[in-house]
Chains A and B, each alone.
Chain A
Amino acid sequence: MRLFFFLREALRALRRNAAPSLAAVATVLITTLVLGVFIPVVRAATAKTNEVRNKIELEVFINDDASRAEVAELGNMIRDIRHVESTDFISKAEALRILKQRLGEKSSITEDLPGNPLPASYRIKLDDPQNADVVKSSLAPVGSNGEARPISPAIQEVKDREDDTEKILSATSTIKILLASLAGLLVLASVLLVANTIRLSIFARRREVEVMRLVGATNWFIRWPFVIEGLLVGFLGGAVAVALLWLVKVTVIDEWSDRFALIAAPETISFTLLVIVLLGAATAVSAVGSGITLRRFLRV
């Protein structure tokens, strides 16, 4: 009966305080939407980056004039280096096939090439991408004159994918920072607007609060309706946002996921977990907002 009393009082306050309540609900809604887009995007971007980083860390290109024995010996030498997990030999013919595959429809342009310009290579997988530099310097130690000296005459060049990964990393980190600061600002705005709603509600009901105090209501009896009001604002905003996200997921993302690799990234957060996180965040935001106001304006 108590809970119903508090709920009724909170709903009554929301109705009477419709305009500021609506503003607070809308802000929580937008915040939750941004968080709802932000979390999966960051998760997917991080997953994609790791995927790229883990793919091939090092590629050793082989001179065209290296003999078979030299190439085989180089393979053994690479396998003996610490931190090397495995290595694959890509012949010149294979390299061309891979290129054709990548070019897809435009593969015909390779037919104009005089012969096969692509070098054969060893692709090295590492136990940890962090060790790329160590392995690289074992393959081509830097001599006293400051020039890299390959361990085998068969080596034409040792290349790592650092350049590519760096680009992806910096791009995703920029996106992360932008989205995070946007989300941070929105969270702040939500907290303040919920706080303001509760403040207005306390102001609108100061007579009630006064009467409650005079007839001997306990502090928590006075506070609960306001706390519930704040939580309702948060929950409403969160629930509408989740509903919108679900709509977008069903109509857009599920439809297109087979066309865009990023959306379909398997490491993206599951929708159920996302919903729980978002509703939790929305409620927490409003709890903080109303908490601030209750502390400041309802010293009972």
Chain B
Amino acid sequence: MAAIDETLDPRGAVLHDPTRSPAVELRDVTVVYPGGNVGLDGASAIIGRGEFAFLVGQTGCGKSTFIKLLLREMDPSRGKVLVAGRDITQLPRKKIPKLRRNIGVVFQDYKLLPNRTIYDNVAYTLKVIGASRSEIKSKVPEILRLVGLSTKLNSYPDELSGGEQQRVSLARAFVNHPPLLLADEPTGNLDPETSIGIMQLLYRMNRTGTTVIVATHDNEMVDRMRRRVIELHQGRVVRDEAAGMYTGRGL
């Protein structure tokens, strides 16, 4: 097992592969919610460009907070959040849309628009960022073919199975080939077999050079994929392994 198990200094996160430049970095980030709940408590992590990383841990450990910080859906109480080398906590509000255009996101509940067809759901993203008509016409069928839904362009989301809906959501997140793809519990509502399909898609997207970060508590999936694992517990990074299992050694 080629696991690198650091004794974790809360301040010093490690870039696992020195040949990669960092895509995402959290530096000693603390998030305290208005009610007093702690989302993250001095967490640090570096994820290199093109890496595939799992964020694992129990519900409430800070996985979703991690994802939301990267989208600048919230500001940390303390610490820095860097995306592509830039501290996004200092980003003016006006520049947030631009940040998000370079990040694809997938959620447990798909967040598809129920009254639009599959094609329109994916095209919507491109319309929102101001893509041309011809661009939309060429890119949407292409990405839907990639996720294996080219026969369901005119179906509506509720006519699809959960796995298919998550594929649409993946297509939407990836249609403009963002350098960073975030997935918050993408297989949370799916059976194991369907989940494998989704993970394979994420893996294929990662192979094109996109950095993929998946927050999950799907232990089977993590164990099967043998990818980098960052474990969070009560807002702290308690484990960071290069090719880890869902459960760390000795835990």
Q: Please report A residues at the B interface, Cβ cutoff 8 Å.
A: 1-2, 5, 16, 207-208, 210-219, 221
Contacts and interface: CB of A to CB of B under 8 A. Distances in A.
B115 to A, nearest CB: 8
Interface in B106-152: 111, 113-115, 124-125, 127-130, 133
A214 B104 CA distance: 8
Contacts of A210: 111
A208 B113 contact: yes
A215 B111 contact: no
B12 interface: no
Contacts, number: 43
A216 to B, nearest CB: 4
Closest 4 interchain pairs by CB? A216-B101, A216-B100, A217-B128, A216-B97
A124 to B, nearest CB: 71
B111 A216 contact: no
Nearest to A207: B113
A103 to B, nearest CB: 75
B73 to A, nearest CB: 8
B81 to A, nearest CB: 17
A215 B172 contact: yes
B56 interface: no
B93 to A, nearest CB: 8
Nearest to A221: B128
Contacts of A218: 97
Contacts of B114: 207
Interface in B43-84: 71
Interface in B76-106: 94, 96-103, 105
Nearest to A214: B105
Contacts of A219: 94, 97
A1 B111 contact: no
B97 A211 contact: no
A219 B128 CA distance: 11
A217 B98 CA distance: 8
Nearest to B124: A211
A1 B128 CA distance: 12
13 contacts: A1-B133, A208-B113, A211-B113, A211-B125, A214-B111, A215-B100, A215-B101, A215-B124, A216-B97, A216-B100, A216-B102, A216-B128, A219-B97
A219 to B, nearest CB: 8
Given A5-B127, A216-B103, 20 more contacts: A2-B130, A207-B113, A208-B113, A210-B111, A211-B111, A211-B113, A213-B100, A215-B124, A215-B125, A216-B96, A216-B97, A216-B98, A216-B99, A216-B101, A216-B102, A216-B129, A217-B129, A218-B97, A219-B94, A219-B97
Contacts of A215: 100-101, 124-125, 128-129, 172
Query: Binding site of B, secondary structure by majority: helix, strand, loop or mixed?
Result: helix
Interface magnitude class on chain B:
20 to 34
- Please indicate which of the listed interface residues A5, A208, A216, A221 has the most CB atoms of chain B within 10 Å of its own CB: A216
A5 B99 CA distance: 23
A1 B133 CA distance: 9
B118 to A, nearest CB: 14
A214 B102 CA distance: 10
Nearest to B125: A215
Contacts of A211: 111, 113, 124-125
A208 B127 CA distance: 13
Contacts of A207: 111, 113-114
Contacts of B96: 216
A44 to B, nearest CB: 51
Contacts of A217: 97, 128-129
A208 B172 CA distance: 13
Contacts of A221: 128
Contacts of B101: 215-216
Nearest to B116: A208
A221 B100 CA distance: 14
Contacts of A2: 130
A210 B103 CA distance: 15
Contacts of B113: 207-208, 211
A213 to B, nearest CB: 7
A219 B172 CA distance: 20
Contacts of B105: 214
A104 B101 CA distance: 84
Nearest to B111: A211
Contacts of B115: 16
A5 B114 CA distance: 19
